[in-house]
Amino acid sequence: MFHSGTAVRCRLYHLIIRIYEGRERATKTFAVAFLLTLVTGCVATPSPNSIMDSNKTIDQTKEGLMAEYRIGVGDSLKVSVWRNPDLSANVVVLPSGDITVPLVGDVKAAGETTESLAEEISEGLNSFIRQPSVTVSVLDAISAEYLRRIRITGAVNSPLSIPYRRGLTVLDFVLQAGGLTPFANANRALLYRQEKDELKVYPVFLEDILSRGDLSTNYPLLPSDIITVPEKSF
């Protein structure tokens, strides 16, 4: 049951939607901002478990991105050699695509993942130390190609990772991905967006967009945006 005043907020919600559909961009922006302050009275408050699940999803998304990330020119990397701090170093990928590693010399880094680069450095160190254990981490990913890529994963027919194109919306990207699978939990989709030093998460109601024409969460995409579409729980 909704608490007192919820019915009023819900009526205001539908009024704002009508305003949103009929006004210019500036009015739409105001309407959306106002709507966000009202909508909490029309939906259930998330449980602690759902918040924990969302935080876990964010962490997994970050880990997945770094696992697939291809190092680019200008990226800052940390090369760590276990039990050999003198061989560890923070390096920047040069315009040639190389980094310079103690004892090993120049190593091609551009286009590699952190895992494949660590393996290559380990092979180079085999001549100098026994069973080297090397890890590579990205301190600052500034390569332009990565920053501008947008991705959609999960319950879509063709998950995509493509260069950012101005003017694309959530709906455009879902259609490019071949639409949703029959198992998609469409109204539980999420948009991950890096804003300064914070990863923000926005709900995307794909079922409402596709079935009802409700475009209130059909956000314009920005560089580095990631859309995830979960499957239904049976």
Contact of 152 with 229, CB cutoff 8 Å: yes
Domain boundary among the residues 97, 116, 140 is at 140
* CATH (domain of 205): 3.10.560.10
- Where are the alpha helices (H) located in the chain, listed in sequence order? 6-22, 25-38, 48-68, 114-125, 144-148, 170-176, 206-207
The answer to whether residues 158 and 63 belong to one domain is yes
Domain boundary among the residues 108, 140, 172 is at 140
Distance CA 159, CA 126 (A): 39
Angle at the Cα of 204 (from 223 to 154), degrees rounded to 5? 75
Q: What is the pLDDT along the chain (234 residues), one digit of tens a residue?
A: 444 444 444 454 444 444 444 444 444 444 444 444 444 444 444 444 544 455 555 555 555 555 568 898 889 999 999 999 999 999 999 988 999 999 999 999 998 999 999 999 999 999 999 999 999 999 988 776 777 889 999 999 999 999 899 999 999 999 999 999 999 999 999 999 988 878 899 999 999 999 999 999 999 999 989 999 999 987
Predicted pLDDT of residue 133:
97
The answer to whether residues 29 and 64 belong to one domain is no
Distance CA 49, CA 225 (A): 25
The answer to whether residues 159 and 213 belong to one domain is yes
Residues 95, 76, 153, 217: is their CA dihedral positive or negative? negative
The answer to whether residues 39 and 111 belong to one domain is no
Domain boundary among the residues 96, 115, 140 is at 140
The answer to whether residues 127 and 173 belong to one domain is no
The answer to whether residues 1 and 55 belong to one domain is no
Distance CA 101, CA 111 (A): 17
The answer to whether residues 157 and 172 belong to one domain is yes
The answer to whether residues 170 and 227 belong to one domain is yes
Which residues does 48 contact at the CB level (< 8 Å), separation at least 6?
Answer: none
The answer to whether residues 110 and 88 belong to one domain is yes
Predicted pLDDT of residue 193:
94
Number of domains in the chain: 3
The answer to whether residues 167 and 202 belong to one domain is yes
3-state DSSP of 62-122:
HHHHHHHCCCCCCCEEEEEECCCHHHCEEEECCCCCEEEECCCEEEECCCCCHHHHHHHHH
How far is C-alpha 45 from the chain's CA centre?
Answer: 24
Predicted pLDDT of residue 106:
96
Distance CA 151, CA 103 (A): 38
- Cβ atoms < 10 Å from Cβ of 30: 14
Q: Which domain holds residue 153?
A: 47-69+142-234
The answer to whether residues 61 and 173 belong to one domain is yes
Residue 216 backbone class (left: φ over 0; alpha: ψ -120 to 50; beta: rest): alpha
How far is C-alpha 47 from the chain's CA centre?
Answer: 23
pTM score of the predicted model: 0.47
Predicted pLDDT of residue 169:
97
Contact of 134 with 80, CB cutoff 8 Å: yes
* CATH (domain of 133): 3.30.1950.10
Which residues does 234 contact at the CB level (< 8 Å), separation at least 6?
Answer: none
Predicted pLDDT of residue 57:
54
> Backbone phi, then psi, for 39, in 5-degree steps?
-65, -20
The answer to whether residues 93 and 170 belong to one domain is no
Contact of 200 with 225, CB cutoff 8 Å: no
* HSE toward the beta carbon, residue 21, CA cutoff 13 A: 9
Predicted pLDDT of residue 19:
41
Contact of 173 with 160, CB cutoff 8 Å: yes
